[in-house]
Amino acid sequence: MKQFKCLLPSGIEFGPGKINSLPEMLPGGTTLLLTDKGVAASGIVSRVKERCQAGSEQVHEFMDVPPEPSEDQVAEVVEKLSNLNVRAIVALGGGSVMDMAKLISIMLGDGPNITNLFDGKLPRKRSLQLIMIPTTAGTGSEATPNAIIYRPSLQLKVGIVCDAFMPDRVILDPELITGLPAPITAATGMDALCHALECYISNKANLLSDMLAIEAIRLIFKSLKKSYADGSDLEARADMLLASFYAGICIAASGTNGVHALSYPLGGRYRIPHGISNAILLAPVFACNKDACVDKLAAIAHLCGKDIHGKTEEQKVDAFVGFLEELSRDVGIPTRLSELGVPSDDLDEIVEAALQVKRLLDNNPKPLTRDEIHSIYSSIL
């Protein structure tokens, strides 16, 4: 029997207009509303700010969270906010904003600095209320105890895992993401698909993560292309938000592996957006992994809608992996690393960097050798 441990937010609200419940979640006092410039430009911040004001004495807005922040940028933001005495943080944004909110929530005041966190000096609790409102679908960060930070010295993105990062409340409101641009819809939706698929074949997969991963995969196959083609399709947006949340729980209960491990050096060195570097690796990593999980993949192959009746397990899995490649192309994801500025001369160094992401490679259904990693990258150069 596969055991699991997983924390969940203590309250989750899902549905159009659920943002209206925000005031009753706030403890009063000063609320920090954290977001970034892209979200601010989408025009949803005033509605959320108004809801923050209804539940607080004072609202402090910070709209400058950098995309996929580095450790220095985290320290800078904490420094800028250090004089605030806040009782709640409302994170309105994608993974970049939500991860920054998690870090700030334990670092403000007398909390640890970023070096302490990398050294594993993690607090068990935090004193302020943390509310997450995802505006991409997405990282599922609202359901994980993880924060991902870029470490320039290593040219790598690194995850910090801390129970105190778990949000108290989560609002999944599809009305807030109808303005998400199509390319970001595509990249973030493919990230959610990677979470669900990797967690489903992970060495740590279990009955909870399998159930949620399969449902997330079904929802994403049903609604990613729809929400990419028509951002105002509220039902498709709702499917994607829920799928991303489910896949986030899967990350916490199971774990990502090969795709994310090989993606981190690409995000670190070339600053390729997280969802894109994952999407481009998804089909080749699954093609390499398939021998180790034929039965599991064959069992969900029908979800892709291809006619697999009467096929062998291997044929079903090949059809499924082919579908993953088509889906990525259909939502406009580049197919070649060279299009994203990755020179072939760097290949050996990228392979070595990927081999360092042991935390995730250990979850892969089979050990990936140096040669296998090399040929995965080569196949998409």
Ligand X SMILES: NC(=O)c1ccc[n+]([C@@H]2O[C@H](COP(=O)([O-])OP(=O)(O)OC[C@H]3O[C@@H](n4cnc5c(N)ncnc54)[C@H](O)[C@@H]3O)[C@@H](O)[C@H]2O)c1
Binding interface with ligand X (CB under 6 A): 36, 38-39, 42, 67-68, 93-97, 99, 135-136, 138-141, 144, 146-148, 157, 177, 179-181, 184, 188, 191, 251, 274-275
Burial of 104 (0-12, 13-18, 19+ CB in 10 A): buried
Q: How many CA atoms lie within 13 A of 189 on its CB side?
A: 35
Given the complex with Fe ion, which of 126 and 260 has the nearer CB atom?
Answer: 260
Given the complex with ligand X, which of 32 and 304 has the nearer CB atom?
Answer: 32
Given the complex with Fe ion, which of 166 and 308 has the nearer CB atom?
Answer: 166
Q: Which residue is nearest to Fe ion (CB)?
A: 191
Given the complex with Fe ion, which of 191 and 239 has the nearer CB atom?
Answer: 191
Residue 43 CB, shortest distance to ligand X, in Å, is 9
Quickly list DSSP for 281-340: HHHHHHHHHGGGSHHHHHHHGGGG----TT--HHHHHHHHHHHHHHHHHHTT--S-GGGG
The binder of 275, among Fe ion, ligand X, none, by C-beta within 5 to 8 A per type, is ligand X
The binder of 95, among ligand X, Fe ion, none, by C-beta within 5 to 8 A per type, is ligand X
Quickly list DSSP for 122-158: --S--SSEEEEEESSS---GGG-SEEEEEETTTTEEE
Whole-angstrom distance between the N-terminal and C-terminal Cα of the chain? 40
Given the complex with ligand X, which of 162 and 304 has the nearer CB atom?
Answer: 162
Residue 192 CB, shortest distance to Fe ion, in Å, is 8
- CA 375 and chain centroid, separation: 26
The binder of 179, among ligand X, Fe ion, none, by C-beta within 5 to 8 A per type, is ligand X
The binder of 48, among ligand X, Fe ion, none, by C-beta within 5 to 8 A per type, is none
- CA 213 and chain centroid, separation: 14
Contact 200, 300 (CB under 8 A): yes
Contact 246, 352 (CB under 8 A): no
Residue 275 CB, shortest distance to ligand X, in Å, is 5
Contact 320, 304 (CB under 8 A): yes
- In angstroms, the CA 287 to CA 283 distance is 6
The binder of 251, among Fe ion, ligand X, none, by C-beta within 5 to 8 A per type, is ligand X
Contact 370, 173 (CB under 8 A): no
Given the complex with ligand X, which of 202 and 308 has the nearer CB atom?
Answer: 202
Contact 174, 16 (CB under 8 A): yes
Residue 159 CB, shortest distance to ligand X, in Å, is 7
Given the complex with ligand X, which of 26 and 251 has the nearer CB atom?
Answer: 251
User: Which conformational region is residue 255 in: left (phi greater than 0), alpha (psi within -120 to 50 degrees), or beta?
Assistant: left
The binder of 31, among ligand X, Fe ion, none, by C-beta within 5 to 8 A per type, is none
Residue 148 CB, shortest distance to Fe ion, in Å, is 8
Residue 315 CB, shortest distance to ligand X, in Å, is 32
Residue 184 CB, shortest distance to Fe ion, in Å, is 14
- In angstroms, the CA 192 to CA 213 distance is 10
119: tokens are 């050294």
Contact 348, 367 (CB under 8 A): no
Residues that bind Fe ion (CB under 5 A): 191
Given the complex with ligand X, which of 156 and 298 has the nearer CB atom?
Answer: 156
Residue 198 CB, shortest distance to ligand X, in Å, is 11
Helices (H), 3-145: 22-25, 37-41, 45-54, 71-80, 95-107, 114-118
Given the complex with Fe ion, which of 129 and 202 has the nearer CB atom?
Answer: 202
Residue 42 CB, shortest distance to ligand X, in Å, is 3
The binder of 265, among Fe ion, ligand X, none, by C-beta within 5 to 8 A per type, is none
The binder of 258, among ligand X, Fe ion, none, by C-beta within 5 to 8 A per type, is none
